Structure formats: structure tokens, C-alpha cells
Amino acid sequence: MTELHVHLDGSLRKETAIALAKEKGTKITSLTVDEDCDSLETYLECFRLPLSLLQEAPVIERAVRELAEDLLADGVNRAEIRFAPYSFCAKDLSPKEAVDAARRGARAAMAAHKGLKIALILCCMRGQEEAPFVGRVREELTGEKANFRLIDLIEEEMDDVVKAADLAGAEALFPTGRYIELFRYAKRKGVPFTIHAGEGAGAKSVWAALETGTGRIGHGVRAIEEALLVDELVRKKITLECCVISNFHTRCFANPIDHPIKRLFDAGVRVTLNTDNRTISDTTMHREIETVQRLFHFTDEEIRRMQAYAEEACF
Ligand SMILES: [Zn+2]
């Protein structure tokens, strides 16, 4: 199988997080949301421990290698793992050192497992321009141009593993419209990208993402709010990286059954199945497939069609 949307920090292996926390004397906070997760804050709180651990090159390298193994065990032999390099630079690492460590992890996994293909997507963060950074290289990581500098870094680092940029973070607080220039810049530089939109904010955010010329959107499911927008996604053959169980946990829709993935699929949108945060949402591709078949009655043939969409959308 192919997976397009999985975050490294939200998928740090639980046993590894606990072992490392004990080794370093870090307080062990919750890593997985409960089924009745009632707020985005509870969800975001689960990133605290992984983010505090992923501040050292050997930990980042190990996390990528182990995630690749977990993906393989789940039947995923081609995956694009994403992370925000700046969020790993709160201590001593530079963004380039964080990227190098992740690349080593990906290469080690691919060397150990024939047929496995791992790519990395590096996330710009919404609000990075206002972030109060305390790391060794803090001057690089804040201010209006911080995300532009990350695009420059991606351009320099792009190879057979480092493939593309993304935009992640609080969509409702920092609207997508603010980042159109950033991704036009990426386009001019030849850096491919995807953008989280239509999860924490609605149709307007997806329209703004489309203005960048993106071919992929992370989530995108709230496009369902506007029929014209759904038509546009079909017309432009945009791939949506849907993460259904994650959307249940962040309360993207009032009830799980309200999730529009099947309606989008039936309308002709190229929707794909992804896990988003394997540890935090305690999910796998198998669980995502089982869930959409049970709740939305996708047939095996339709599941295969979504897999084909994912393969075609790889960077
Ligand atoms: Zn995501």
C-alpha cells in the first residue's frame, strides 16, 4: 500500500517514547487520545512528549527507521513521512541537522528492507513567523521570512528522499491566505508541495490552498461545505489526503457518521486514506480501511481505487 500523510512526531513508537523518557528523566505525558477525546487541546497535548524527545539527531534517525518498519508491518511499502524541521530545533539542532538525521533513518530502513520506499515531506508551520524560539539557531527560525528559509533549505536538500514541502499548524488561527506567497515562492523554486487545509477551517481555506496551484491537499474534507469547490477539486484532479480517524479525534465533524469522505469519493474527488498520527490516534491503514468500510460502505474495489489515487499522487 501507499500512504501519503503520516506525521513523524505523532507516530513515534510508544515503547520508544516511554523508554527514552525514562532514560532522560522526562515526565511521561499521554501519547494516545481516548475514543471520547473532546477537544483539540487534548489531542495537541499528546504531541508534547514526542516533540520534547525529537530534539536530538539519533532520536530523529531512530524514529524514522522505526516508523518505516511499523509502516511495513502495516502493509505500507511506499510512504511519505512528514515533520516540521523547526519543531526539532528547540535545543541544539539546526534545521539541516534535523533533516540529515531523518534522511539517514529513511535510508537505513530502505537498505534493510528491499522494496520499501520512504520519502520525506518537510512542513512549514503556520505562525512560525511569530514563534518564540529558544534553540541554538533561533535567529533562523523566527520572523516573517522563517518559512521562506525552510523552502530554501528544502530546495538545497531535495534528493531521492527529501521530496516536498507542506504547511501544517493551527489553520483557524493562521489562515491559509497568509501563506499563498510562500507557496508561490516554492513553486518558483521548483519545490513540490502539499498544504493542510479544510480541516480546522472550511471551504475558504481550501480555495486559498488552490490559489497556490497545489495538486494535493492535506485533509481538504471541509470542501464538502461548498458544491462549487467540490466540482473544482474534481476538475483540477486534486488529491485529498484524508485522515478519517484523526478527524474523529479533532472533532472535524460533529459525529463520525457525518464525515464526508464517501460523498467526496462519489462526487469524483481523488480521496486517499491515511493515518495522520499513528500513535496519537492509535491507528493503522488497516484500521482506516476497516473503519471506512464499516461506516461508509466502501467496497474492496473502491478501496483499491483510492490506493491507485495515492500511488499516482506520490511526490
Ligand atoms: Zn496532518
Task: Report pLDDT digits (tens) over 229-268.
Answer: 999 999 999 999 999 999 999 888 989 999 999 999 999 9
Rg for the chain (alpha carbons), in Å?
Answer: 18
Q: If you write DSSP's letter for every residue of 128-197 in order, what string do you get?
A: GGG----STTHHHHSSTTHHHHHHHHHHHH-SSSEEEEEEES-TTTS-GGGGHHHHHHHHHHT--B-EEE
Q: What is the pLDDT of residue 136?
A: 74
Q: What is the pLDDT of residue 38?
A: 65
CA of 3 relative to ligand 1 center, distance in Å: 12
Task: Report pLDDT digits (tens) over 46-69.
Answer: 999 999 999 999 999 999 999 999
First to last CA, the chain: 15
Whole-angstrom distance, CA of residue 8 vs CA of residue 41: 19
CA of 164 relative to ligand 1 center, distance in Å: 14
Q: Which residues of the chain have pLDDT under 70?
A: 36-39, 133, 138-139
Q: What share of the chain is helix, strand, coil (3-state, %, to 5)?
A: 50, 15, 35
CA of 48 relative to ligand 1 center, distance in Å: 16
SS3 for 74? coil
Whole-angstrom distance, CA of residue 135 vs CA of residue 285: 35
β-bridge pairing 2-7 and 78-83: parallel
CA of 146 relative to ligand 1 center, distance in Å: 20
Q: What is the pLDDT of residue 43?
A: 84
DSSP summary character for residue 276 = B
Whole-angstrom distance, CA of residue 223 vs CA of residue 232: 10
Residue 176 in contact with residue 200, Cβ under 8 Å?
no
- In DSSP terms, 272 is beta-bridged to 241
DSSP summary character for residue 223 = G
| 58 CB neighbour count, 10 Å cutoff | 11
Whole-angstrom distance, CA of residue 222 vs CA of residue 197: 8
Whole-angstrom distance, CA of residue 248 vs CA of residue 252: 6
CA of 246 relative to ligand 1 center, distance in Å: 9
Instruction: Specify the amino acid at residue 125.
Output: M
Which phi and psi (to 5°) does residue 118 adopt? -115, 130
Residue 163 in contact with residue 80, Cβ under 8 Å?
yes
As residues whose CB is below 5 A from the ion ligand 1, the structure lists: 276
| Burial of 6 from C-beta contacts in 10 A (0-12 / 13-18 / 19+) | buried
Nearest-10 crossing angle of helices 146-157, 180-189: 20
Q: Does domain 2-313 have CATH number 3.20.20.140?
A: yes
Catalytic residue numbers read: 199
Q: What is the pLDDT of residue 37?
A: 66
Q: What is the pLDDT of residue 291?
A: 98
Whole-angstrom distance, CA of residue 60 vs CA of residue 99: 9
SS3 for 46? coil
Q: What is the pLDDT of residue 155?
A: 98
Whole-angstrom distance, CA of residue 261 vs CA of residue 259: 6
| 13 CB neighbour count, 10 Å cutoff | 19
Whole-angstrom distance, CA of residue 232 vs CA of residue 129: 31
